[in-house]
Amino acid sequence: MTLAVSPLLPRELFDFPPDALWLSHCKDGPVPRASAQRLVELLATELHPWALRWNEDFLDIQASLRRAGAALFGVNAHDISLTTCTTTGLEAISLGYPWEQGDEVLIPVGEFPSNRLPWLALAHRGVRCIEVPLWAGQAKGAAVPPTASIDPEQTLLDAITPRTRVVAVSWVRYQDGVRLDLARLGRGCRERGVHLVVDGIQGAGTMMPSFDGVSAFATGGHKGLLGLQGQGLLWTDATFRQQLVPVGTWLSAPDDFSQTGTQYGGDELWATDGRRLEPGSPSILSCAVLASSIQMLIDHGGAPAIQAHVTGLQEALLARLAASEVWAAEAHRLSGLMRAHRVGPTLSFVLPPDRADRLLKAAEAEGIGTSLREGYLRMAFHGWHSGQDVERCAGWLLST
Ligand SMILES: Cc1ncc(COP(=O)(O)O)c(C=O)c1O
């Protein structure tokens, strides 16, 4: 019997070949057709710069992306900065924070390099970056995968010392798919006078984050947010932002740059809003594409609706696998994590390497886009997936 769940985002919004099953937005999200059309329209401003209107085609497009990002996340557009990617957002924090010799940053073991290298690079300023295992035995290669009993928030809070200034985590982890409880971690960090900085890319667009107690949230736009590579967003708490040395450029002045009038001549060098952390002239094309994609997500119910849709599909897949002797243990482990609200949009299965290899080969032959990271086979769901896709995914997994 086919599971009767229609896509929340109709497939026709995208350019999927009829038999494609893309379960890899954890790697790269598809740009919707409408956003690609927007790109084509705007390409005219690059071909014909003499026709470019400074406000409408440049400043307003940036502002529209800040507004769209803020609406999706339920925050104020003043607190959004445009960045090129997750890494540059995190670097605005790591380079801008007023560090003192001996300060410490805590990050979990197994972070994606975007949330590791910017902190390790602070060693020359006397700042130690300490990597904290989130559960006993956590190591590369999925040696001990996460279960429902893990408590990563408490583990991180317990690792805080009087020297800790920042705890920096992935909201959703890229390999094992674990989702951290940002509200709980944020509260705990704030009570201890520590800033929580978040790499949000693996959940943005499909899950609803909490910004309560969070000081900064950085994401690239090319995965669940369905934008182009090279365009991201950074949200910062307004008070925290004022403590950072601005890394902005000439576009980060208190007033918008005027092409005709006189420039701002006041004492303040930098805007107080998110623009103060922006790394220079953005690509208007990628700003417009991301704004359009985010607006499409909002128009279809936004992150809460997509999260509910994705969760339903994940539960259905795990229920199908639970009946199989080969898959029961992993289905049980992941169902436990789901009940503990510990899963993002991606189900990450641990399999013996030879079986994972066979599954990847079969997936490629069948037009199923999936990926393996650190021993975890990842299946990432989004709004365009349907009950039929779950059936197809189950068929592939059970047959190999
Ligand atoms: C957790 C995480 N952070 C960041 C990135 C990408 O970083 P950036 O946006 O800087 O390219 C990835 C890409 O796979 C990721 O999985």
Residue 150 sits in the same domain as residue 60: yes
- Range(s) of the domain holding residue 22: 11-30+302-399
- Same domain, yes or no: 309 and 272: no
| Main-chain dihedrals φ then ψ at residue 130, nearest 5 degrees | -110, 130
Question: Is pLDDT at 158 greater than 80 in this prediction?
Answer: yes
Cα-to-centroid distance, 198 and ligand 1 (Å): 12
- CATH number of the structural domain spanning residue 170: 3.40.640.10
- Ligand 1 atom with the smallest distance to the CA of 87 is 10
Q: Is the CB of 307 under 6 A from ligand 1?
A: no
Do 356 and 211 reside in the same domain of the chain? no
Do residue 323 and residue 389 come from a single domain? yes
Tell whether ligand 1 has an atom less than 6 A from the beta carbon of residue 135: no
In a domain, 382, yes or no: yes
| Token pair for 30 | 């598809």
Clarify whether residues 317 and 288 are in a common domain: no
The pLDDT value given to residue 265: 73
Q: Identify the pLDDT of residue 51.
A: 87
84 lines ligand 1 (CB under 6 A): no
**Pair 306, 275 in one domain:** no
Q: What is the pLDDT of residue 245?
A: 93
Report the Cα 71 to chain-centroid distance in Å. 16
153 lines ligand 1 (CB under 6 A): no
**Exposure class string for 128-141: b at 16+ Cβ within 10 A, else e:** ebeebebbeebeee
- Decide: 174 in ligand 1 pocket, CB within 6 A: yes
The tally of domains found in the chain comes to 2
Q: pLDDT at position 86, please?
A: 98
Confidence of residue 237 (pLDDT cuts 50, 70, 90): very high
The verdict on 320 and 225 lying in the same domain is no
Measured distance CA(292)–CA(166) in Å, rounded: 33
Q: How far is the CA of 50 from the centre of ligand 1 (A)?
A: 36
Residue 105 lies inside a defined structural domain of this protein: yes
Task: List the CATH number of the domain containing 366.
Answer: 3.90.1150.10
Q: Are residues 315 and 295 in the same domain?
A: no
Residue 41 lies in a domain: no
Is residue 196 located within the same domain as residue 262?
A: yes
For ligand 1, the distance from its centroid to the CA atom of residue 112, given in whole angstroms, is 7
Asked if residue 384 and residue 290 are part of one domain, the reply reads no
Q: What confidence tens digit (pLDDT) does each residue in 332-344 have?
A: 999 999 999 999 9
Residue of 234, 206, 231, 207 lying closest to 221 (CA atoms): 231
The reply to whether ligand 1 has any atom less than 6 angstroms from the CB of 89 is no
Q: In terms of domains, do 253 and 336 share one? A: no
